[in-house]
Amino acid sequence: MIKAEEFTAEELQAIIQQLGDFKDQQTHLQEQVGSYFQNFDKDSNGFLDRKELREFLTNFFTQYKIHFPVTDEYVDAVFREIDLNRDNKIQPNELESYALHFVNTILPHYEQALSTKQ
pLDDT tens-digit profile of 41-51?
999 999 999 99
* The pLDDT of residue 117: 83
* Residue 108 belongs to domain with CATH number: 1.10.238.10
The number of beta carbons lying within 10 Å of the beta carbon of residue 48 is 26
> For the whole prediction, is pTM greater than 0.75?
yes
With respect to residue 25, please indicate whether it lies within any of the assigned structural domains: yes
With respect to residue 118, please indicate whether it lies within any of the assigned structural domains: no
With respect to residue 42, please indicate whether it lies within any of the assigned structural domains: yes
pLDDT at 29 over 90: no
Partners of 73 in the β-ladder:
none
With respect to residue 63, please indicate whether it lies within any of the assigned structural domains: yes
With respect to residue 99, please indicate whether it lies within any of the assigned structural domains: yes
Domain count, the chain: 1
Q: What is the identity of the amino acid at 66?
A: I
**Of 51, 39, 31, 43, whose CA–CA distance to 99 is shortest?**
31
Task: Name the residue range of residue 97's domain.
Answer: 4-113
* The pLDDT of residue 62: 93
- CA angle at residue 27 from 40 to 47, to 5 degrees? 25
